[in-house]
Amino acid sequence: MTEESPGGYTGKILRVNLTDKKTTIEEPEGRFYREYFGGTALIGYYLLKELKPGIDPLGPENKLVFSAGVLSGVPSAGCGRSGVGAKSPLTGGWGDAQSGGFWPAELKRAGWDAIIVEGKADKPVYLWIKDDQVEIRDAAHLWGKTTAEVDSQLKEELGDKRVRVAQIGPAGEKLVRLAAIANDINRYYGRCGLGAVMGSKMLKAIAVRGSNPLKVANQEKVREIAGATADVIKRFMGGFKSYGTAGGVGGLNAMGILPTKNFQEGQFDGFEKITGQAMAETIMVDTDNCTACAVNCKRVVEVGPPYNVERVYGGPEYETIGSLGSLCGIDDLKAIAHGNQTCNALGLDTIGTGTTIAFAMECFENGILTEKDTGGIELRFGNAEAMMKMVEMIGRREGMGDILAEGARRAAEKIGGGASQYAMHIKGQELPMHDPRGKVGLGIGYAVSPTGADHMHNIHDVEFMRVNPTMSALGIQEPLDPFDLGLSKVRSFCYLVNWQHFKNCAITCMFLPYDPNRMAELVSAVTGWNASAWELEKVGERALALARLFNAREGLTAKDDFVPERLYKGVSSGPRQGKGLDREAFQEAIKNYYGMAGWDAETASPTAARLAELDLAWAIPELDKIAGKK
């Protein structure tokens, strides 16, 4: 493989203009791929260069970029992911999300590294990609249908059961700001409301079928690394296969940081009924995996009447267990599975949906909302029927669901009466199911994340209480105290978060045991480059810089790097009772992080010097726009 034609890439990017119904092909040079890799960094390159500041996220000027990475489709565990990005209709700033499954690898096999969707169709359409053949087809017959219905119908219509489909459900069609993009029915590009962007373009689905094997530079080395990784999985990750991500529910509850009743509490009396262990013993009927992955962490559940949960929609992961379960005070696992199925069928982000419903429940219990507002629904914590009904109403924009479909921040502004104090969001994106009061580094990550509250490019302090290979490779030689906010913690946070962003460029699963040195070996084996851990770390930093620069250009500043006031007050019971974030120490930590990251103290954007250091000198003129200059 040459520098102009690195392994792991197809060398082609597809551009689809839905307004004039034209498709074009771009073929970047090898240096472009080495600079941006894929995923978040590649998305950032195109969005920052091609979007004008201030555009409507739901207007035709927005662009939706689907991007694989150098490792997408590589036959090694955790390499079955890709990313999607656009200006977010939820936050008004940077938006990106990642998903696994089989669609990303199929995109590579069809011969494409990325798809840039621009403009807006005049009627519902879907994109059919079969290797180098690309068609924009009518989707009127698919509009309004659920994700499982569309997946089945497209496979029948295209005459191939191995077609892979990325799509929106009715929520995306109705521009619900919590709408996600489905991948293989039960995997999701969940955050930032990107399903609404796809819906605004009248694009129902992208069906892909490829027949080209992915080329790598050193097949033998790739097999060696894949085999060693599979061995590590077999020896140390059995719990993931048995219980999935929900296996951690009990541990978080014991620590007092299981989000409960809209983050008022950190322990849930009914937690034992909603653990991964409880699921395995009751409603789980199978496990599932992503491309070339032996972990099988995905849950597959089935529940009979009156819930009628079908296995085609998979099963709830930890985030869903938390958001539709403990956060809403609900310990009925079957009801949570039903809520998960509804989210998957309609195309909703389970995190944003559950957190918004929990917000509404607290409003109801404090008299800000009444049954008159909810259409007779007693929207209280613990009411499983109310939760299930509200998920449906949000996805279809019915009744109170039409207001909540705007997300917690906008819903609170519309409801008024002090509702905003209960809206648990950052930059407009709802908090995931990890409490910063027990993981303070995570809190910094929530605050400074370009997407708003996001756990997928963040650190979880408790995981670094012992020095591991990733820490050592990045020069972090001491374990991290989960409650420390000092300079050493901020330095470690800086390095680790850049590394997490690299994983979203490569793109790989966050759970797999690829430390920076092993990752550099794998990238080198795939591409033919002589990649180093340091180089990969800088790719992650470059991706973050592009996203932060995008936000600053859209008007977000350091004032938007906050956490909800509730997190300073502490939970009402349990081991963390009354122990909230230390406001002064937290804000000082963010200030120190800006300094270490090379960000301006007011705009929270990378400085010109840092952009140049990251080989992003082309983006320096954007700083003039931020400063209000011509």
At residue 4, the pLDDT reads 58
At residue 630, the pLDDT reads 42
CA distance 549 to 93: 10
pTM comes to 0.97
Sorted by sequence, the CB contacts under 8 Å of residue 220 that are 6+ apart come out as none
**Superfamily name with CATH number, domain 13-209:** Aldehyde ferredoxin oxidoreductase, N-terminal domain (3.60.9.10)
The topology (CATH level 3) of 243-430 is: 1.10.569
Instruction: Please check whether residue 507 is in contact with residue 72, taking contact to mean a CB–CB distance below 8 angstroms.
Output: yes
At residue 15, the pLDDT reads 98
Q: What is the pLDDT of residues 214-233, one digit of tens each?
A: 999 999 999 999 999 989 88
Which class is 440-626 in CATH? Answer: mainly alpha
At residue 2, the pLDDT reads 42
Q: What is the pLDDT of residues 128-150, one digit of tens each?
A: 999 999 999 999 999 999 999 99
CA distance 596 to 447: 16
Q: What are the structural domain ranges in the chain?
A: 13-209, 243-430, 440-626
At residue 105, the pLDDT reads 96
Distance of CA 585 to the CA centre of its chain: 28
Alpha helices, DSSP H, located in 218-269: 219-236, 238-243, 249-255
Helix (H) or strand (E) holding 288: strand 284-288
SS (H, E, C) 129-159: EECCEEEEEECCCCCCCCHHHHHHHHHHHHC
At residue 402, the pLDDT reads 98
Distance of CA 301 to the CA centre of its chain: 23
Alpha helices, DSSP H, located in 159-273: 170-173, 194-200, 219-236, 238-243, 249-255
At residue 1, the pLDDT reads 41
Task: Spell out, as residue ranges, where the chain has pLDDT lower than 70.
Answer: 1-4, 629-630
